[in-house]
Structure formats: C-alpha cells, structure tokens
C-alpha cells in the first residue's frame, strides 16, 4: 500500500497522541478513524521507531503506570473495591507492556502414546454396529471391558 503524505501524517499524529498517553479510543475519535485503524497506525509507526526509542517509550509508559499505581494504592489497601479494580487494570497494562502474560510452553512427560488408527477403527466399528466389540492392541473386548477369548 502506497503511503501518501496524508496517511503518513495521520500515523505520525496517532503515535504522538499515544506517546502522550492518549487511549486508542480517543486517538480514533480525534483523528476520525476506526479504533482498529488507530491500533494499526500506532503499531506500524512503532515498527519504524529505532529500538532505543521503543525502549524509552516503554519506560515512559511504565513510569506513567507507576505514578497511577502510587496514587490509587493507598485506597486499594483500605479495601476500596474501585481502587482495587484500578490496581488490577494497571497491573494488567504493565504485564502487557512487558510481555509477562505470553503463553508458556508446557512440556509433557510420561504421556502414553495414543493409537489413533486403532481408535478410529473402534469408532468406525461402533458406528457400523460391529458386534465383535472394540479392538485394543489386537485384543477384542466385550461391552464390559473384559477380554473376549472368542468362541
């Protein structure tokens, strides 16, 4: 997509507003664009910003969150539910800012292998009404799960 001066200027304004702490919703309203477009413009502009500037921007945002938390913290400690909700929102923003909620890879140990082909055969046999019962590891079992020795 070819960038015109107008789209470049809108993107620059969107990033400038975001740096000033303006919400994406307010950016969209001020620039008369959709909320999703505001997100996209800021994201694309940030991709063009040198790494050192991105780190500085993240640190500035972290400082803002720290200031907000310092203001609300005393009320939250007294049990003020509205303040507690604000602290949770600030904490969520901080976790997103630093990528702390990224999915974690879980390693599984001692997991028994699954015979998918055999399971599929058993399901097909049940669907087709096969009277011999399911076959597990080459053995036939009756409805009660007992080994069927056959006739």
pLDDT band at 135 (very low <50, low <70, confident <90, very high): low
What pLDDT, in 10s, does the model give residues 19-66?
888 899 999 999 999 999 999 998 888 888 788 887 888 888 899 999
What are the percentages of helix, strand and coil residues in the chain, rounded to 5?
Answer: 60, 5, 35
Type and span of the H or E element at 13: helix 5-19
Q: What is the pLDDT of residue 143?
A: 52
- Residue 130, pLDDT above cutoff 70: no
What pLDDT, in 10s, does the model give residues 80-105?
999 999 999 999 999 988 888 877 77
Q: What is the pLDDT of residue 8?
A: 82
What pLDDT, in 10s, does the model give residues 115-126?
788 778 778 877
Sign of CA dihedral 96, 98, 100, 106: positive
Q: What is the pLDDT of residue 150?
A: 55
């Amino acid at each position: 997509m070819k960038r015109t001066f107008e789209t470049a200027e809108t993107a620059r304004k969107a990033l400038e507003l975001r740096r000033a702490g303006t919400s994406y919703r307010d950016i969209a309203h001020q620039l008369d664009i959709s909320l999703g477009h505001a997100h996209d413009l800021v994201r694309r502009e940030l991709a063009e910003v040198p790494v050192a500037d991105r780190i500085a921007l993240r640190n500035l945002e972290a400082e803002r969150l720290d200031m907000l938390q310092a203001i609300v913290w005393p009320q939250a400690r007294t049990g003020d539910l509205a303040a507690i909700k604000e602290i949770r929102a600030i904490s969520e923003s901080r976790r997103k800012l630093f990528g702390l909620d990224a999915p974690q890879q879980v390693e599984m140990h001692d997991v028994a292998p699954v015979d998918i082909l055999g399971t599929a055969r058993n399901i097909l046999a049940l669907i087709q009404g096969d009277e011999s019962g399911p076959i597990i590891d080459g053995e036939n079992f009756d409805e009660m799960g007992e080994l069927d020795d056959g006739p």
